[in-house]
Chain A
Amino acid sequence: MRFRPTSLLVHLVLLGGGLIMAFPFYWMLATSLKSPQEALQAKPIWVPERMKPGNWLKAARLGDSPLGGGLAPGRSVELVFPGEKGRPPKAFIPRTPGAFFDPRADGTRVEVVYREGAWRVRLTNTTGEAFRFLPLVVLWPKEAPLNPPLPPDALRSQGEDWRLEWVNAVPGALGYLFHNYLEAWYAAPWGRYFFNSFFTALTQVAVGLFLAALAAFALARIPFPGKDAVFVLILATMMVPGEVLLIPNYVLLARLGWLDTYYALIVPWLASVFGIFLLRQFYLSLPQDLFDAARIDGAGYLTQLFRIALPLSLPGLVSYGIFTFLGAYNALLWPLIVTQSPEMRTVQLGLQAFVSEAGSDYGALMAASTLVILPVILGYFFAQRQFIQGIARSGLK
C-alpha cells in the first residue's frame, strides 16, 4: 500500500486527541494506586511504586499467603529495628473520628521489646480468624533501619519518625496493589449502593421496555380512535425538560408516602417517551405483509407483538436498554432528592458523599471512582458493538 503523509498526520491528530480524552482515566487509575505521599507531590508521579512488578514480589513475601497476605490465627510477625537502645518504636491503633475502624483490631497483641541489639515489634493475631487489614500504626525514629525490607511506599514520613500502617506490614501482592481499593470499599456500604443502583436500573429497563413496547406497537400497528391525540400528547411531553418535573414529582411521592423507597427511584421514570418513539420507529419499519400473514393464521395483536414485532426489533430493545441503564445508573440529581437513608442511596450518591468526606486521601477517592465506573466500562468492553450502535441509533430520524 502506498504511504501517504496526510494519512499519518490524521492518525497523529486522532491519537493526540484520543490520548487527551483518555488521560483522565489514566490519571485516575495511577492515583488510585498511589500512596498518600505519592499523590500529594507537586511534581506528578507517572508510575507509582505500586505499579512496579518488583514491589509486588517484595510485598508477596510479607504475610502468610503470597497473594492475599494476612496472618493466620496465632501467627505473628516481627519487625526488627537494629541499633542502639534509643527511643522505642511506638505501636498503636489510631482512633481518629471517621477513620476506618475494625473491631478485630482489639485482637491484635502488640509487644515492643529491646533484645539482642535491636528493637522488636511483635504483632500477634490472637483472634480466631485470619485477617490482614487493620488500622494499626507503628512509628519509629528515622535513623533506625527496618528489617524485613518493605516496598518503598509502605512507609510514610511523620515528623521525626517513619510511619508504617499495619496493612502494609503483611499485605501480600494483591493487598499491596489494591490497598486504596480495599480502604475505599470498607469506608462505605458499597455493596448496598451497588445493589440499589443495579436493582433500580435493571427494573427500569425491564418494566419500561415492556410498557414502551406495548405502547409503541399500538401506536405503530393498530388503528384505534384517539390514536392521533395520544401521539400528540406524547410528543408534547417531550418538550418538557426534566427539571420542571423535579418538584411536582417530589410532592407527589411525598403524598404517596414513597420517599426513600425503591418506588421513588423507579416508578416516575418507567414510562419513557424516548423508548416509545424508538420502538415505534422500529415497528413502523417492519413490512406490513408480516403482520397480514400472521393475522390470516389467526394471530391476535398480542401474538403479533410478542412473536413477530418484539424479536425483530431486538436492536431497538438493546438501544433502549443501554440508554435507560446508563441514565439510571449514572443519575445523581433524582436519587439525591428522593432518598435519605444510607440504605436507599445509590452508587453515585455514595461516591459524591465519599468525595466530600474523604478529604485529601486522593488515592482512596480515585479508587472509589474507578469502582463506580467499572461495571459500565466492563459492559462496554464486552458489548462494544451494541453500545456504539445503540447510541448511534438514538440519533436516527
Chain B
Amino acid sequence: MRTFPLHAVLSWGALLSLGVYAARLGFLPQAWVVVGLGLYALLVLWGVRFGWRHALLALGLMAYWFPPAAFLVPLFFALIFGRGLSEKEQGALYGWALVWPALALLLIWHVFPTFYAFYLSLFERVNFLRPAAFSGLENYRILLQDPLFWRALGNTFWYVVFTVPVGLLLATVVAILLNTQVAFLGLYRTLYFLPYITALTAAAAVWRWIYHPEFGFLNWLLRTPGLDWLNTPKGVFALLLEPLGVQVQGFWAGPSLAFVAIMVMSVWHFLGYQVVILLAGLQAIPKEYYEAAELDGASFWQKHRLITWPLLSPTTFFLFTLGLIGAFQVFTQVYVLTPTGGVLQDTLTLAFYLYNKGFRDSDFSYASAIAMVTFLLILGLTLIQRRILERRVNYEI
C-alpha cells in the first residue's frame, strides 16, 4: 500500500510560506505565489484520501496568514502525529521537521542572498528604494577599469601573502616549542592566546596608540640611539625597503608603512588561535613514533621533517584554508586603524572598498559586483589550493 509523503508536503508547504513572505516584500512576483498556492491545494486534495485534509489546510492557511509560524509547523506536526506512523515514515517526518528550522534560516539568509547579490550586480546603481535599469555585466566592466579596485585587490593580495604564511610559520614554531616543554604550559598558552579573544576594535585601538607617530611606543623604540632605524637617511628600514620603492617615514607618519602596521597587528591577533589548533594537532601524534625514531637515531630535524610535518599536514591545511578565506575579508583592523582608508586610500582592502561603495556611497550594485569578484577569487584560490596542496596532505595517523 502506498503511504502519504507527509514530510514532503510539509516541507513544500513551509517553503510556500517563505514564498508568500518573499512576494509580500517584493522579491517575487505575486503570480508565482498564486501558482504555488494552487499546487498546494492539489496536494491538500491528495491528502484527503489519507485523512490529512484538516492538518494540511491548517498549514496552508497558516503559511498564508503568518508565514514565520511555518518554521516550526513541521515540528508540531511531527510531535502530534508522529506516534502512529511506520518507522520509515517517522524518520522522514522527524528528519525534515528537525532540519527545517535551520534549513529555512539558511535558505533565507545565506542561499537566497548569494543569488540576490549576483542579481543586484547586474543593475545600474541600485539603491534598493529606487527601480534601476538592467545593465548586464556593465558593473564588472567598470570594476576592472577602476584603479581603486585594483589598489584594494593589490593590498588584499599582499595582506594574504604576508599574514597567512608568516602567521602559520610563527605559530608552528611556537606550537612545537610548547609541545616539547611541560612546565608553565598554561602560562605560555595564555600569553599567546589572549590576543585572539580580544575584540579587534579594542586591539586596534591599542595598536593605534602604540603606532602613534609622536607619542607611540614603537616609534620611541625605533628612535632609540644606537638603534636609529628611521631618522637617519640610511637606517635599517630604509636600507631594506628603499630598493623596493617604499618611502620610509616612520610608522604611521607616512603612508608607506601603514599597511605593514596593519599586517603586523593581524599576525599578533590571530597567532594564538593557530597555536592552539596546532598544539592540539601535535598532541594527537602518538609518542611512540618519536620513540621509535629516536631508537633509530633520528636527529631533531629528521623527526620533524619525517613525523611531525606529515602528521600535522591536515591541521596546517585546515588553518591555511581558513586563514586564506579570513584574510581575504579583512575589514575591522583596517577600519579602526584607518577609518578613511589611510593617506590616499593606501590601506584600502576589498572588504573595505565594498563597505565604502555600498554603505557610504549607497551604490549597492557596484558593491555587489565587488562581493561577487571576491567570492570568485576565494572560490578559485580554495579550489586551486585543494588540488595542489591536498595531494600532499596526509590524513592517516
Contacts and interface: CB of A to CB of B under 8 A. Distances in A.
Given A240-B375, A245-B113, A392-B276, 20 more contacts: A14-B181, A15-B188, A22-B191, A25-B206, A27-B206, A39-B215, A211-B102, A218-B95, A218-B97, A223-B91, A224-B94, A239-B379, A243-B329, A248-B112, A269-B109, A271-B105, A332-B332, A347-B199, A362-B212, A384-B186
B355 interface: yes
Interface in A260-281: 267-271, 273, 276
Contact of A214 (B101, B112, B217, B276): B101
A39 B212 CA distance: 11
Interface stretch (A57-65, A116-124, A351-359): A351-359
B117 A247 contact: yes
B252 to A, nearest CB: 14
B215 A42 contact: yes
Interface stretch (B30-38, B146-154, B226-234, B366-374): B366-374
Given A365-B209, A397-B395, A22 B358 contact: no
Would you call the interface of chain A mostly helix, strand, loop, or mixed? helix
A115 B277 CA distance: 72
B303 interface: no
A320 to B, nearest CB: 13
Nearest to B364: A247
A17 B174 contact: yes
Interface in A162-199: none
B199 A348 contact: yes
Contact of A243 (B83, B194, B277, B371): B371
Interface in B253-296: 268, 271-273, 276-277, 279-281
Interface stretch (A74-82, A88-96, A145-153, A251-259): A251-259
Nearest to B284: A396
Interface string B77-107: 0010011000000111111111101111110
A47 interface: no
Interface in B62-90: 75, 79, 82-83, 90
Given A244-B114, A267-B109, A387-B197, A224 B95 contact: yes
A234 interface: yes
B197 A377 contact: yes
Contact of A276 (B102, B206, B368): B102
A218 B359 contact: no
Interface string B185-198: 01111111111111
A251 B364 contact: yes
29 contacts: A10-B177, A13-B177, A14-B177, A14-B181, A15-B188, A18-B187, A18-B192, A24-B195, A27-B206, A40-B214, A44-B217, A44-B220, A214-B101, A224-B7, A237-B110, A245-B109, A246-B354, A248-B120, A250-B359, A255-B25, A255-B26, A269-B109, A271-B103, A330-B200, A332-B200, A351-B202, A372-B202, A380-B197, A397-B318
B190 to A, nearest CB: 7
Interface in A1-53: 7, 10-11, 13-15, 17-19, 21-22, 24-25, 27-28, 31, 39-44
B319 interface: yes
B90 A369 contact: no
Interface string A227-249: 10010011001011111111111
Given A44-B217, A245-B110, A271-B109, A11 B91 contact: no
Nearest to A17: B174
Contacts of A242: 329
Contacts, number: 302
A305 B82 CA distance: 15
Contacts of A256: 25
B178 A14 contact: yes
Interface residues of A, number: 100
Nearest to A304: B94
B279 A241 contact: no
A83 interface: no
A230 B99 contact: yes
B315 interface: yes
Interface in B197-219: 197-203, 205-210, 212, 214-215, 217
B206 A273 contact: no
Interface residues of B, number: 111
A208 to B, nearest CB: 9
Contacts of A44: 217, 220
Contacts of B174: 14, 17
Contacts of A24: 195, 203, 206-207, 210, 268
Contacts of A140: none
Contact of A244 (B79, B98, B117): B117
Contacts of A351: 199, 201-202, 205
Interface in A330-388: 330, 332-333, 337, 347-348, 351-352, 355-356, 362, 365-366, 368-370, 372-373, 376-377, 380, 384, 387-388
List the 4 shortest-distance A-B pairs measured between CB atoms, nearest first.
Answer: A224-B95, A248-B113, A271-B105, A18-B191
A350 B190 CA distance: 27
Contact of A369 (B92, B101, B109, B205): B205
B369 to A, nearest CB: 10
A214 to B, nearest CB: 4
B201 A332 contact: yes
Contact of B105 (A13, A244, A270, A302): A270
